């Protein structure tokens, strides 16, 4: 098993819970942070800028992404410029399209030329990658957030699209390809294999890092013990009277 410190990929903590952000900020292996409006809503955030200022204070000088939330491009641009002004380590998340399916490439191009570090999010296709690469300024950092996890949810292997993105971005040294929406720790090593610069992960997923290198025989034994101890704690018994088998106590888990 590869050791965490041997990986080239940067791990960004993904979330909007301030306590969780502070917790992850204590970990040296966390190289950046990402948020989005959905995570913020789930965390009960009502004041966008207040949350952003608290998050910025928690993460120090590490990069953090905040997303625009307008659906028309002029307002997106206004929001992007305001968000970018919050700190030199701020990346502005711009969705690849608005809700009408209209491309945000022109907006990304204008912002990139103004020196705004864009994190282009919700990307799924090679066509989207090519379109964005054509408008980026080579002098301005950018992130391409490709939702590998959601691609795999459709039954499609995300590795070819991730490798295509990495290859396409090679001529732009300031562009990072980000493996978004991972589903399991294995995705960390897949993202490394694909050559991605960044992978995001929630706090719950990051806690599984403690399992790196765990002996599988020992893990198997612990799992068997868990089943045994839970059955014992539940008080399960089986009446073994001949021809009259019955389970005296059964609980069905949802």
Q: What is the DSSP string of 76-128?
A: HHHHHHHHHTT-TTEEEEEESB-TT--B-HHHHHHHHHTT--EEEEEE-SHHH
Token pair recorded at residue 69:
């939330």
Q: What is the Cα–Cα distance from 175 to 195, expressed in whole angstroms? A: 12
- Residue 210 is predicted with a pLDDT of 80
Q: Identify the DSSP state of 170.
A: G
Instruction: Please list the ranges in the chain whose pLDDT falls under 70.
Output: 1-3, 242-254
Note whether 204 and 171 are within 8 A (CB). Answer: no
Q: Identify the DSSP state of 6.
A: G
- Residue 213 is predicted with a pLDDT of 81
Note whether 107 and 131 are within 8 A (CB). Answer: no
Fold for the domain defined by 7-211: TIM Barrel (3.20.20)
Condensed to tens digits (0 to 9), the pLDDT of residues 55-74 reads: 999 999 999 999 999 999 99
Q: What is the Cα–Cα distance from 195 to 181, expressed in whole angstroms? A: 17
Condensed to tens digits (0 to 9), the pLDDT of residues 99-141 reads: 999 999 999 999 999 999 999 999 999 999 999 999 999 999 9
Token pair recorded at residue 31:
């190289």
- Residue 149 is predicted with a pLDDT of 96
Active site residues: 93
Kind plus residue range of the DSSP H or E element containing 66: strand 64-67
Domain boundaries, the chain: 7-211, 216-247
């Amino acid at each position: 098993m590869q050791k965490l410190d041997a990986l080239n990929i940067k791990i960004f903590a993904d979330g909007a819970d301030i306590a969780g952000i502070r917790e992850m900020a204590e970990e040296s292996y966390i190289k950046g942070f990402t948020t989005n409006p959905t995570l913020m809503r789930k965390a009960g955030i009502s004041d966008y800028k207040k949350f952003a200022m608290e998050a910025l204070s928690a993460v120090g000088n590490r990069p953090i992404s905040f997303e625009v939330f307008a659906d028309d491009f002029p307002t997106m641009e206004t929001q992007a410029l305001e968000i970018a002004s919050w700190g030199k380590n701020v990346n502005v998340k711009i969705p690849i399209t608005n809700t009408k399916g209209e491309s945000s490439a022109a907006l990304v191009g204008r912002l990139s030329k103004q020196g705004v570090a864009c994190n282009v999010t919700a990307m799924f296709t090679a066509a989207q990658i090519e379109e964005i690469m054509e408008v980026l300024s080579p002098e301005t950092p950018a992130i391409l957030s490709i939702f590998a996890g959601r691609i795999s949810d459709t039954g499609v292997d995300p590795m070819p699209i991730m490798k295509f993105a990495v290859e396409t971005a090679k001529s732009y040294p300031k562009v990072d390809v980000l493996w978004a929406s991972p589903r399991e720790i294995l995705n960390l090593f897949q993202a490394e294999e694909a050559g991605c610069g960044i992978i995001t992960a929630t706090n719950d997923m990051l806690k599984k890092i403690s399992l790196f290198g765990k002996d599988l025989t020992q893990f198997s034994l612990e799992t068997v013990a868990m089943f045994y101890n839970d059955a014992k704690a539940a008080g399960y018994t089986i009446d073994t009277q001949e021809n009259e088998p019955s389970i005296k106590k059964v609980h069905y888990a949802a």
